[in-house]
Each structure stands twice: as structure tokens, then as C-alpha cells.
């Protein structure tokens, strides 16, 4: 592999000069269509790794390339869309990145050479590179450097042997995230500085990238990062891609590339069918060219018959000879810079009561109230009112704890604040929502007066009472903090302005008793970097682990609120220790085992919790006390509060 790396770096810009004709001269270039659609039509099931077919069924792949070339395509893409270590890893093929990509180039090159010999026409091989299939930081667990390394690994195989042997250009396509597209561009510039790179985003029906960025922002950023052509592929069909090209044209001077799906797929008798006809696609090809696209082709659902129709349409326009006149408003515009949002969140002290107390260094008292399993929350409201009278500062409301089906935390928070008047902290998990619904929920929460958010990854459904429920986990807690922080600065995840700051006070969870302390500390540091302003710990029964955790985070410490859970019985202690993996000293287990009755067990649990609170108080800036089984009086007892008569 080292030789391949060195060889790739030695390729000069001049080595790729032959492909310059595709990017200059005012002509339109026709690329091929879908590979997966053709393979599926030949009976290859969708659970197969299509990229691996380069090794196991090379003749089938070669035939498809040849059919597209015979239909008039000037550029064929290698069958390597998913040829990166992450996607191949889903099939246990992560060690075959080089073999699969090299084979893919070889098959496409053989078809191109064959058509060149028979028809004396020029054709080129483009290395197809799709998204990695994983979510990147700050919204995911894969680092930007890891993503770049994966793209570099694939590119080294695609360009191996240099121009005429490796690929002539790279097509980075169906990208859902601008951050990921940037890593692909950086990888290409590092491995093969002279190679041309076409980068295409995929968009939703509104024409915006799936990370929230607008078509205009995408074109501007990709231009700044060094792409040779930018555009849109896949998406919801020709009409959507056309709108994106029209929006991109005024903000970039680069060539534009458009390769739409054959419309939106429909399920017909158990099969996925694309209903847009070749003639309809051909008509939109003319519109795409008039709108400023100079590289056109097809994506999902298109076949050589579509390529043939598009070829005829372009010939009729004279586009392939450079004779077409594009519309005046479709001429290349000046490269534009993006205006950053000037919105800033209010100072922490002005966002909420809790934010004010955290900022001032005051000791905060919170009690957790779990939402009911039905629609009647009168008990929870009564408990919140009791705790408010006793002087508790805030109520924590969990979000479907232990993956159970309950009233939404947001609903209970709103009712507590409206009917009781005490401030709440909304627990918000990533388990049940994608990044779109997360933003929608948080915007709504801010608009109705919820200003304190505890960002959590969430328990997986298999731990709850509906183990077959589907989890989402688009992001984890770290990614969620990044989203909330963006909203606080008046930006969505695509860095598009949304107006005023949401003004959230951002908190995160910490688990001092976790077995892998190194990982917990690393994740905590990421949460702080992302914008966390205070932390709430899991229940603490062993002060030694709390002290160790606080020592480990000293360099990036934020205010820490200690979680306290009053045990109710030995069985409760065993559940906490064995099921929830909470650090539980043997001394506490022995004390709970020695009690003579259930009431004595509850009293001993309160006593232990009071001792934990007294010893932890000098180390932390607050305490969250749980109310086991809805016993709010027990939580009040732990805090040393007594019920007072309302005058």
C-alpha cells in the first residue's frame, strides 16, 4: 500500500490534462446512468454488496459499462459507489477496499478501451465515490480525520497506475453532508493533487441538502474547498435537481453537474419502480443545460435507454458541440462568500433561573418527576407543587426513561411550568428522533418557554417494554449539544440563519461510576467543547468514584450537579448495581440487607442519601434527587425539607 500512496502523490496536474475537455470549451458532457438499477434488473438482490461484484461477477459489471457507452455516454463511473471501508464493513469486506476499487477501475477501463477501438470515440472513466454511510462529528462518532483517511484509502486504489490506467477523474456523489464532502475533496487533493473532482450533493424536495444547508451555501462552500465542478444528483427527480442547478448557477463560476433520479420511486407489486420515462428525462436534460449544467447524466432508475434519449436531446440542441446558448440568468455567477449569523445567545445568567444560579455559583436543588404512563398527570402536578412550596429550585422531567412509553417530557414540563410555576429541565434524547424532528422539537420548546435542556443519547428500545420498537439515533448526546448550541446562535445544523436565539441553558449527563472511565472523560470533554454549561451525574453511592471523576475533568470542568437516589430496599440496591451498573459499595449493600421491614428499608435509604448529599455538597454545585416510585416526600426528606402550611 505504501507504494500506491507514493505513486499517487507523484501524479502531476499535467498527467490528467486529457480530461480538461470535459470542463472547458462550453460543451455538454453526457455521463452514464445507474449501476445499481441495472444490477438489480439482472437478478442481484439488494442485500448483496454491489461493489463486491467487481470481483465475483466482473463480466456482468463490464457489460453494463459497455451498454452505457454504446448508448452514447462519454463518461462511465466505476462500480465503487460504496467502496469505502465503512460501507464494505457492513458486509465484512473492509479489508478488500483496494481489491474492489482496483477491479472496478479495470472493468470500466476495459469497456472504455473497447469502445474507443471500435468506434474511434473518446470516453473517460470516473471513479464513483459515495458517502461513507456513517455520521461524522460533531453530530456523529466518526472523526473528520477518520473520514478523510477512508476517502484517501479509496482514492489511492481508484487512481492506482496513474492516468490512463487508474481513473481519469473522481465523481463524489449523493453527498448528504457538506462536512463529509469537504473531507472527500481534501482527500483527493492529498492523494492525487492533479485529478479533477466533481462533487454532487443530494437534496430534499425543497432543494436543500440533507444536513440543512441550502443549495446556494453548498455551491459556495464546495467552490471554496477546491472542487472542479459542483452540482446535484439523485434526490427527488429531474424537477428538484433543476431547481438546485438554477439556485447554484448565480453563486459559483464552476461547471455544474446534474444527474437526477428517474423520478420518485414507487412500490408496485412488491418491486421498486421508477415511473419517469426516458423521454421525460430527455426533456429535462434540455432544461438542465439551458439552466447552466454542463455535465449531465442519470442516477437511480435510469438505464441505457435514458442515456440514449438524453444523447438525442443534447444533439438536437447542439449542446455536445458547444453550440447551445444558455439562458442569461444561467450564466456563471461570481463566487460568493457566506454571511455568518450575528445572533448570540443571552448571557447564561439571563436565560433561566437555573442558568442564573449556575452562573452565580449558587447551590441548585432539583427533583426528578417521571411522566405518567397515561394522560392524567395530576399526581405529578401535585408533587411539583409540594416541592415548589418547599423551596426546590427546579423539576427534572425524564424523556421516556428506560425506553418506556409515557407522556412526553415536553408536555409535562409545560404543564408544570404553567400550573405550578416552578422551572423545569427537559430531558431530551436522540433515540426517537432524526435531526429534522430534533430541531423542530427544540424550536417549539423554546417558543413555549422551556429554557433548560438536558442532552441525552437515550436508552435503546431493547431495554424497555417495547423492545422491537425502532430507534433512530441520528446523533448522540455530543451531536445533540452541537445542535442546541447552533440553535442558541440562531443557526440550524446547516448553518442557515433561523432568526433569534433559542436561549437554552445546556446541560449534559455524566456517569462517574462507569467502568471505562477514560471513554467517559473523553466524551465529557467533547460535550463541554460542544457547548455544555453544566452537568448532572448518574446516582452517586460511592464518593470515591465521584472524587476521581471530578479530578479527571479538572482541566475542562463545568458546574456539576450530583445525582442522589434514595434506595427503598435491598432489591432496589441490587437492581441499581447489577442492572444499571451503578457503582454500589458493599457497605451500602450490607446496610440495606440488615433492615427488618420495608418501612425500615425506606428510612435507611433516605439516611444513606442524606449522608451522600452531605459529603458530596462541598465538591459539587447542586444536587438532583430522584423520587422513587413517585414518592415526592422521600425526595423532600433527603433534601432536609419539611412540608409547610400554605397561608
pLDDT of residue 19: 80
* Confidence category of residue 321, pLDDT binned at 50, 70, 90: low
Extract the C-alpha cell encoding 599: 418501612
Place of cell 412540608: 643
pLDDT 10s digits, 395-415: 999 987 665 678 889 999 999
pLDDT of residue 271: 53
pLDDT of residue 263: 73
Mean pLDDT of 260-287: 72
Strands (E), 1-155: 29-30, 75-77, 124-129
Mean pLDDT of 627-631: 83
Neighbours of 543 (CB within 10 A): 16
Strands (E), 486-578: 505-510, 534-539, 560-564
Mean pLDDT of 439-447: 93
* Confidence category of residue 510, pLDDT binned at 50, 70, 90: very high
pLDDT for residue 121 is more than 50: yes
| Beta carbons within 8 Å of 47's beta carbon, 6+ residues apart | none
Secondary structure percentages of the chain, helix, strand, coil, to 5: 45, 15, 40
pLDDT 10s digits, 416-425: 999 999 999 9
Mean pLDDT of 115-122: 72
pLDDT for residue 551 is more than 90: yes
SS3 467: coil
Q: What is the mean pLDDT of the chain?
A: 86
The values of phi and psi at residue 345, to 5°, are -70, 155
pLDDT for residue 8 is more than 70: no
Question: Rounded to an integer, what distance in angstroms lies between the CA atom of residue 597 and that of residue 569?
Answer: 9
| Beta carbons within 8 Å of 370's beta carbon, 6+ residues apart | 380, 397, 398, 401, 406, 627, 630
pLDDT of residue 582: 80
21 labelled ligand-binding: no
* Confidence category of residue 268, pLDDT binned at 50, 70, 90: very low
Place of cell 444528483: 233
Percent of the chain with pLDDT over 70: 87
pLDDT of residue 119: 67
Extract the C-alpha cell encoding 67: 451498454
Q: What is the dihedral of CA 555, 556, 559, 561, to 10 degrees?
A: -90
Question: Rounded to an integer, what distance in angstroms lies between the CA atom of residue 373 and that of residue 438?
Answer: 23
Alpha helices in 18-96 (DSSP H): 36-41, 53-56, 58-70, 85-89
pLDDT for residue 439 is more than 50: yes
- Domains 2-7+28-330 and 353-638 are alike in CATH topology: yes
Rounded to a whole number of angstroms, the distance between the first and last alpha carbons of the chain is 81
With left for phi above 0 and alpha for psi between -120 and 50, is residue 494 left, alpha or beta? alpha
pTM, 2 dp: 0.71
pLDDT of residue 383: 93
pLDDT of residue 327: 55
pLDDT 10s digits, 193-227: 989 999 999 998 888 888 888 999 999 999 999 99
SS3 30: strand
CA 215-300-237 angle, 5° bins = 45
* Confidence category of residue 5, pLDDT binned at 50, 70, 90: very low
Mean pLDDT of 274-286: 80
pLDDT 10s digits, 67-107: 999 999 999 999 999 999 999 999 999 999 999 999 999 99
Neighbours of 328 (CB within 10 A): 6
User: Highest mean pLDDT: which of 448-462, 501-515, 565-579?
Assistant: 501-515
Distance (Å) of CA 32 to CA 35, 65, 69, 162, 558: 9, 8, 8, 22, 55
SS3 266: strand
pLDDT of residue 187: 97
* Confidence category of residue 472, pLDDT binned at 50, 70, 90: low
CATH of domain 353-638: 3.20.20.220
Mean pLDDT of 176-185: 95
What count of residues does the chain have? 647
* Confidence category of residue 132, pLDDT binned at 50, 70, 90: very high
Residue 30 near residue 310, CB atoms below 8 Å = yes
Higher-confidence position of 426 and 335: 426
SS3 205: coil
Q: Where are the domains of the chain?
A: 2-7+28-330, 353-638
pLDDT of residue 266: 58
The conformation of residue 508, written as its DSSP 8-state character, comes to: E
pLDDT of residue 253: 92
Residue 530 near residue 561, CB atoms below 8 Å = no
pLDDT for residue 349 is more than 70: yes
Question: Rounded to an integer, what distance in angstroms lies between the CA atom of residue 640 and that of residue 628?
Answer: 16
Q: What is the dihedral of CA 517, 523, 527, 528, to 10 degrees?
A: 50
Question: Rounded to an integer, what distance in angstroms lies between the CA atom of residue 582 and that of residue 511?
Answer: 9
pLDDT of residue 120: 59
pLDDT for residue 463 is more than 50: no
| Beta carbons within 8 Å of 298's beta carbon, 6+ residues apart | 31, 32, 33, 34, 259, 260, 261, 262, 281, 306, 307, 310
pLDDT of residue 403: 55
Question: Rounded to an integer, what distance in angstroms lies between the CA atom of residue 337 and that of residue 340?
Answer: 9
pLDDT of residue 212: 83
Lowest mean pLDDT among 83-97, 568-582, 616-630: 568-582
pLDDT for residue 461 is more than 80: no
pLDDT of residue 279: 87
pLDDT of residue 154: 97
Mean pLDDT of 176-201: 95
Pick the CATH number of 2-7+28-330 from 1.10.3720.10, 3.10.450.50, 3.20.20.330, 3.55.50.30: 3.20.20.330
pLDDT of residue 581: 76
Mean pLDDT of 498-523: 91
pLDDT of residue 140: 80
Question: Rounded to an integer, what distance in angstroms lies between the CA atom of residue 2 and that of residue 196?
Answer: 23
Distance (Å) of CA 391 to CA 359, 452, 511, 642: 19, 19, 27, 10
Residue 461 near residue 182, CB atoms below 8 Å = no
Question: Rounded to an integer, what distance in angstroms lies between the CA atom of residue 359 and that of residue 553?
Answer: 19
pLDDT of residue 640: 87
Mean pLDDT of 565-574: 88
pLDDT of residue 10: 41
Mean pLDDT of 607-620: 93
* Confidence category of residue 489, pLDDT binned at 50, 70, 90: very high
Mean pLDDT of 593-603: 90
pLDDT of residue 305: 93
* Confidence category of residue 20, pLDDT binned at 50, 70, 90: confident
Mean pLDDT of 444-466: 78
196-209 per-residue burial string, b: 16 or more CB within 10 A, e: under 16: bbbbbbbbeeebbb
Lowest mean pLDDT among 19-28, 262-271, 527-536, 579-588: 262-271
pLDDT of residue 273: 56
pLDDT of residue 259: 94
What is the per-residue DSSP string for 335-396? Answer: --PPPPP---PPPHHHH-HHHHHHHHTPPEEEEE-PPPSSS--HHHHHHHHHHHHTT--EEE
- Give the residue among 188, 277, 291 at the shortest CA–CA distance from 232: 291
pLDDT of residue 237: 82
pLDDT 10s digits, 31-59: 999 999 999 889 888 889 999 999 999 99
| Beta carbons within 8 Å of 596's beta carbon, 6+ residues apart | none
Question: Rounded to an integer, what distance in angstroms lies between the CA atom of residue 219 and that of residue 244?
Answer: 10
CA 403-405-408 angle, 5° bins = 100
Place of cell 472504455: 112
Amino acid at each position: 500500500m505504501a507504494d500506491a500512496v507514493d505513486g499517487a502523490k507523484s501524479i502531476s496536474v499535467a498527467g490528467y490534462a486529457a480530461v480538461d475537455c470535459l470542463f472547458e470549451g462550453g460543451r455538454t458532457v453526457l455521463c452514464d446512468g445507474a449501476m445499481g438499477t441495472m444490477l438489480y434488473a439482472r437478478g442481484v438482490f439488494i442485500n448483496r454488496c454491489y461493489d463486491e461484484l467487481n470481483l465475483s461477477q466482473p463480466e456482468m459489471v463490464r457489460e453494463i459499462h459497455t451498454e452505457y457507452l454504446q448508448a452514447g455516454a462519454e463518461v462511465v463511473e466505476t462500480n465503487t459507489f460504496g467502496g469505502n471501508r465503512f460501507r464494505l464493513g457492513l458486509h465484512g469486506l473492509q479489508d478488500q477496499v483496494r481489491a474492489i476499487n482496483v477491479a472496478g477501475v479495470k472493468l470500466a477501463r476495459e469497456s472504455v478501451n473497447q469502445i474507443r477501438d471500435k468506434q474511434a470515440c473518446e470516453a473517460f472513466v470516473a471513479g464513483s465515490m459515495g458517502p461513507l454511510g456513517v455520521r461524522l462529528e460533531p453530530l456523529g462518532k466518526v472523526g473528520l480525520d477518520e473520514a478523510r483517511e477512508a476517502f484517501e484509502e479509496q482514492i489511492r486504489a481508484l487512481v492506482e497506475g496513474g492516468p490512463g490506467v487508474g481513473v481519469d477523474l473522481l465523481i463524489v456523489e449523493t453527498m448528504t453532508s457538506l462536512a463529509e464532502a469537504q473531507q472527500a475533496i481534501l482527500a483527493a487533493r492529498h492523494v492525487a493533487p492533479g485529478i479533477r473532482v466533481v462533487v454532487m450533493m443530494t437534496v430534499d424536495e425543497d432543494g436543500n441538502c440533507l444536513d440543512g444547508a441550502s443549495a446556494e451555501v453548498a455551491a459556495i462552500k464546495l467552490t471554496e474547498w477546491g472542487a472542479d465542478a459542483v452540482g446535484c444528483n439523485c434526490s427527488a427527480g429531474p424537477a428538484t435537481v433543476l431547481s438546485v442547478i438554477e439556485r447554484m448557477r448565480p453563486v459559483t463560476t464552476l461547471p455544474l453537474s446534474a444527474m437526477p433520479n428517474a423520478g420518485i420511486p414507487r412500490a408496485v407489486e412488491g418491486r421498486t419502480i421508477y415511473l419517469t420515462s426516458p423521454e421525460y428525462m430527455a426533456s429535462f436534460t434540455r432544461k438542465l443545460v439551458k439552466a447552466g449544467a454542463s455535465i449531465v447524466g442519470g442516477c437511480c432508475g435510469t438505464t441505457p435507454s435514458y442515456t440514449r434519449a438524453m444523447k438525442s436531446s443534447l444533439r438536437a440542441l447542439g449542446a455536445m458541440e458547444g453550440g447551445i446558448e444558455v439562458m442569461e440568468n444561467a450564466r456563471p455567477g461570481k463566487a460568493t462568500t457566506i454571511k455568518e449569523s450575528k445572533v448570540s445567545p443571552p448571557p447564561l445568567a439571563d436565560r433561566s433561573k437555573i442558568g442564573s444560579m449556575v452562573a452565580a455559583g449558587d447551590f441548585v436543588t432539583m427533583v426528578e418527576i417521571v411522566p405518567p404512563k397515561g394522560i392524567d398527570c395530576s399526581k405529578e402536578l401535585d408533587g411539583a407543587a409540594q416541592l415548589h412550596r418547599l423551596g426546590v429550585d427546579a423539576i427534572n422531567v425524564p424523556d421516556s426513561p428506560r425506553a418506556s412509553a409515557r407522556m412526553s417530557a415536553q408536555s409535562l414540563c409545560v404543564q408544570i411550568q404553567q400550573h405550578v410555576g416552578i422551572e423545569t429541565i427537559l430531558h431530551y434524547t436522540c433515540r426517537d428522533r432524526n435531526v429534522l424532528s430534533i430541531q423542530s422539537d427544540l424550536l417549539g420548546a423554546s417558543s413555549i418557554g422551556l429554557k433548560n435542556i438536558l442532552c441525552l443519547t437515550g436508552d435503546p428500545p431493547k431495554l424497555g417494554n417495547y423492545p422491537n420498537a425502532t430507534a433512530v439515533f441520528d446523533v448522540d448526546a455530543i451531536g445533540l449539544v452541537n445542535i442546541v448550541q447552533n440553535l442558541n446562535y440562531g443557526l440550524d445544523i446547516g448553518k442557515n440563519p433561523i432568526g433569534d436565539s433559542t436561549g437554552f441553558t445546556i446541560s449534559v449527563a455524566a456517569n462517574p461510576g462507569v467502568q471505562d472511565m477514560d471513554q467517559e472523560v473523553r466524551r465529557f470533554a467533547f460535550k463541554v467543547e460542544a457547548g455544555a454549561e453544566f452537568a448532572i451525574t448518574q446516582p452517586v453511592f460511592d464518593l470515591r468514584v465521584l472524587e476521581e471523576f471530578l479530578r479527571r475533568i479538572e482541566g475542562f470542568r463545568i458546574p456539576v450537579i450530583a445525582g442522589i437516589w434514595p434506595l427503598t430496599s435491598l432489591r432496589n440496591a441490587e437492581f441499581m448495581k447489577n442492572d444499571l451498573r451503578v457503582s454500589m459499595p458493599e457497605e451500602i449493600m450490607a446496610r440495606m440487607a440488615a433492615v427488618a421491614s420495608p418501612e425500615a428499608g425506606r428510612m435507611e435509604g433516605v439516611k444513606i442519601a442524606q449522608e451522600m448529599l452531605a459529603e458530596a455538597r462541598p465538591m459539587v454545585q447542586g444536587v438532583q434527587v430522584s423520587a422513587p416510585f413517585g414518592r415526592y416526600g422521600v425526595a423532600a426528606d433527603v433534601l432536609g425539607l419539611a412540608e409547610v402550611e400554605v397561608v
